[in-house]
């Protein structure tokens, strides 16, 4: 078994290969004179694991090319972060279901797919091969444990992410609640007033995606107003679009952590253990 990777998933691929105790293949990435991408897997095997967060068009194309290069092998595609997953329905007539289009394109050549904390598990049904979603809620809980906080409060920005927050809080049997966010547009959210047991406590807001940071910034404002001692953020996928990281810093968050599903300076949580376990099974 060998692990290959898109250029932007190198760190996670290396960590996963180490946990699996298997080799990481060398992949050569170059471009043709016309700017088109050229890839070459230098050493392959009968079983191939592709680690590919489709964070941008270039990475998506690299995933498709890797799948094709692995033709004839038993291939597992791991999509730690799946781009376009949030367009999971036709919001307006004439729009694509982008998550479906991505799932179909990324199924060709894959024997099975793993995603991590995908936006909505209904998307898994669009893959043309078996697809399973994995969660790193326990890993986020372990990360929070290292902070040695006394009686922290774990919160999700909305009810949709509450189950995820419960998975995080189960690690330390911490209190867990949710806020009531409503999305107005891709970049705007409102937070309904809600009294929380936040006064004098360290609060950690957890979510699957930190996109523009709007949800977490609004939540942090409410918690600080209600007298929280500190507010921290921990998300699975740190997209940080439109200056999202700065927005969170300016909102007064004491710590901003994300995982290596998207490789960032804030990636202090790794999804490699969960991926290695799933591949082994």
Residue 181 annotated to the active site: yes
Select the residue interacting with ligand R5P from 109, 157, 167, 238 (CB under 6 A). Answer: 157
Closest CB to ligand R5P among 77 and 189? 189
83 binds ligand R5P (CB under 6 A): no
Select the residue interacting with ligand R5P from 59, 133, 169, 212 (CB under 6 A). Answer: 212
Closest CB to ligand R5P among 258 and 270? 258
Distance in Å, CB of 207 to ligand R5P, minimum: 5
In sequence order, which residues have a C-beta less than 8 Å from that of residue 85 and are 6 or more positions away?
99, 102, 118, 119, 120, 123
Give the distance from CA 69 to its chain's centroid. 25
Contact range with ligand R5P by CB under 6 A, out of 38-46, 132-140, 147-155, 205-213: 205-213
Residue by residue, DSSP assigns 153-212 as EEEESSGGGHHHHHHHHTTTT-EEEE--EEE-SSS-EEE-----TTTTSEEEEEEEEESS
The owner of tokens 């099974």 is 281
Contact range with ligand R5P by CB under 6 A, out of 35-43, 46-54, 131-139, 206-214: 206-214
215 binds ligand R5P (CB under 6 A): yes
Determine the Cα angle at 230 with ends 242 and 212, to 5°. Answer: 10
Select the residue interacting with ligand R5P from 80, 83, 167, 213 (CB under 6 A). Answer: 213
Select the residue interacting with ligand R5P from 211, 222, 256, 271 (CB under 6 A). Answer: 211
Report how far residue 86's alpha carbon sits from residue 81's, in angstroms, rounded to the nearest whole number: 11
189 binds ligand R5P (CB under 6 A): yes
208 binds ligand R5P (CB under 6 A): yes
Contact range with ligand R5P by CB under 6 A, out of 66-74, 197-205, 209-217, 225-233: 209-217
109 binds ligand R5P (CB under 6 A): no
Residue by residue, DSSP assigns 94-147 as T---HHHHHHHHHHTT-SEEEEES-S-GGGGGGSSS-EEEE--HHHHHHHHHTT
Contact range with ligand R5P by CB under 6 A, out of 11-19, 69-77, 171-179, 202-210: 202-210
Q: Do 28 and 17 contact (CB within 8 A), yes or no?
A: no
| Per-residue three-class SS string for 242-254 | HHHHHHHHHCCCC
The active-site residue out of 2, 8, 90, 181 is: 181
What does the binding site for ligand R5P look like in residue numbers (CB under 6 A)? 157, 160-161, 189, 207-215
Residues serving a catalytic function are 181
């Amino acid at each position: 078994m060998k692990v290959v990777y898109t250029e932007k998933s190198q760190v996670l691929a290396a960590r996963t290969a180490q946990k699996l105790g298997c080799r990481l293949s060398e992949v050569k990435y170059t471009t043709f004179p016309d700017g088109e991408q050229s890839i070459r897997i230098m050493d392959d095997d009968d079983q191939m694991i592709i680690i590919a967060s489709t964070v941008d068009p270039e990475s998506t194309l690299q995933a498709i090319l890797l799948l094709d290069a692995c033709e004839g092998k038993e291939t597992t595609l791991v999509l730690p972060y799946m781009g376009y997953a949030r367009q999971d329905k036709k919001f307006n007539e004439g729009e694509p279901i982008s998550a479906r289009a991505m799932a179909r394109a990324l199924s060709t050549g894959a024997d099975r797919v793993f995603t991590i904390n995908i936006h909505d598990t209904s998307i898994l049904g669009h893959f043309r091969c078996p697809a399973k979603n994995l969660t790193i809620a326990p890993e986020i809980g372990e990360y929070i444990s290292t902070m040695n906080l006394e009686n922290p409060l774990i919160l999700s920005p909305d009810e949709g992410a509450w189950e995820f927050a419960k998975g995080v809080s189960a690690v330390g049997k911490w209190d867990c609640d949710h806020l009531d966010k409503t999305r107005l547009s891709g970049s705007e959210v409102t937070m309904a007033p809600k009294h929380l047991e936040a006064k004098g406590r360290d609060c950690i807001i957890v979510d699957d995606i930190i996109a523009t940071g709007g949800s977490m910034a609004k939540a942090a404002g409410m918690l600080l107003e209600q007298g929280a001692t500190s507010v921290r953020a921990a998300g699975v996928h740190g997209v940080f679009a439109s200056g999202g990281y700065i927005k969170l810093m300016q909102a007064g968050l004491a710590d901003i952590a994300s995982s290596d599903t998207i490789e960032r300076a804030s990636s202090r949580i790794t999804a490699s253990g969960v991926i290695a376990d799933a591949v082994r099974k």
